[in-house]
Amino acid sequence: MSEPLRIALAGLGTVGTGVIRLIETNAQLIARRARRPIVITAVSARDRTKDRGVDLSGYAWHDDLTAMAALDNVDVVVELVGGSDGPALTLARNTIAAGKALVTANKAMIAHHGLELASAAEAAGTPLKFEAAVAGGIPVIKGLSEGAAANSFERVYGILNGTCNYILSTMEDTGADFADVLSDAQRLGYAEADPTFDIEGIDAAHKLAILAAISFGAKLDFAGVDATGISRIIAADIAQARALGYVIRLLGVAETDTSNGALSLFQRVRPHLVPIDHPLAHVDGPTNAIVAEGNFMGRLLFQGAGAGDGPTASAVVADIIDIARGERGAAFSMPVAELEPMGRAETGHRPVRAYIRFTVKDRPGVLAEITAAMRDAGLSMESLIQQGRADEGGEVIIAMVTHEGPELAVTQALDLLKGSDNLTAPPLWMGIIGD
């Protein structure tokens, strides 16, 4: 058997300690599959004294994680610190500059700096791998870039954030409102103390940008992702969706667009109504699921645990095994110079069926004002539900579903209602995905 592959591990949180446990528990199996032993030689974290539930005595400790890239007894650096910049980015740059392989679970860093790091890795002739950065333990990056590499992808979309999916599916099951379920999610460890990145769609946007680049051979464009989170969804939205035959899921959707004569890229994270018979409607709890549609393979569904120590550690170690085998494919499935710069798709012409929820004062003329705005915008109504809120001082919720029409008509109708004295809160609209 060949010489061991030597690992430096930066970050000893949930995933970092999971990597240690996995490598120690499955050492013999991993060595057989990697065709060489994989050993950890160096570790680093902020607090040397913290009890992490694993024995670190056999590993050299380094207080300066950014210097681990220069160690002579390290072949691969695993970055599990997190953050788009700061020490994580410095370590990544140092690792590649030293000609060593980099494995990371850091979707924010890849979304913001992935092209830079991939270009540097290509120049240095060293691997950059980040399977764990998207959907935890689900091998979606490998599946798209290798298993389905012969396909031209038409669309990739799915549930990319387990925290939001847990909140929405729990709201369905319990009838509770958003704030109460979020509080429970934080108590159970499914949501961070500051959940902003999750609930406002930013985490999902990081992952979607990476998936879009790999799926479509496009230059990474995180800034081009239109992200809207779930913080404005209320229990009434969940109930109305159910009455109409749908569930609500936060979806990231990416697809190419040629409607303006040039190839452009549509990327959006937003809550959607999903038909109850669609595969994504049955993805509950902190689970991720990604649908990829290829021109020859049809629809593929990747589903599994999107976070957690075991699943994410599994993806990290799978990348390490690839490196041990000498597999050095391009980080984004093709060289950075061959990734196509795509403009950002215009959205006004996109056909959409929309769910729109208004919270209004309970008085005559309100519905007439709303329907007049829809008429003037050329938006046709398919169904309407009106529900009073006795606990909210006579407010009324009006929820409607539109016939399919251009997205511009939805935004124009809502623009016509801006500043209306009848509305007690800004309207909320969500797209309805097809079967």
Bridge partners (DSSP) of residue 129 are: 103
Q: What is the number of other CB atoms lying within 10 angstroms of the CB of residue 397? A: 20
β-strand pairing of 128-129 with 101-104: parallel
- Distance (Å, whole) CA 380 – CA 373: 11
8 A C-beta contact, residue 254 and residue 208: yes
251 Cβ contact list (under 8 Å, min separation 6):
157, 158, 159, 160, 269, 270, 271, 272, 274, 280, 433
- Can you tell me whether residue 284 is helix, strand or coil? coil
Q: Determine the residue type at 12.
A: L
Give me the sign of the Cα torsion angle 140, 258, 434, 407.
positive
Q: Which two tokens stand for residue 160?
A: 């990319």
Amino acid at residue number 29: L
153-159 vs 246-257, strand pairing mode: antiparallel
Which burial class, exposed, middle or buried, applies to 176 when counting CB atoms under 10 A from its CB (0-12, 13-18, 19+)? Answer: middle
How many Å apart are CA 189 and CA 175, to the nearest integer?
21
Whether 343 and 266 have beta carbons less than 8 Å apart is answered as no
* Helix, strand and coil in the chain, % to nearest 5: 40, 25, 35
Do 171 and 238 touch, CB atoms closer than 8 A?
Answer: yes
* Helix/strand number for the chain, H first, E second: 13, 19
Options 100, 129, 142, 207, the catalytic residue = 207
Tokens 């670190």 belong to which residue? 56
Residue type, 285: G
Asked if 107 is an active-site residue, the reply is: no
Residue 423 DSSP label: B
How far is the C-alpha of 91 from the C-alpha of 278, rounded, in Å?
42
Q: What is the C-alpha to C-alpha distance for residues 392 and 225, in angstroms, rounded to an integer?
A: 35
End-to-end CA distance of the chain: 51
- Positions annotated as catalytic residues are 207
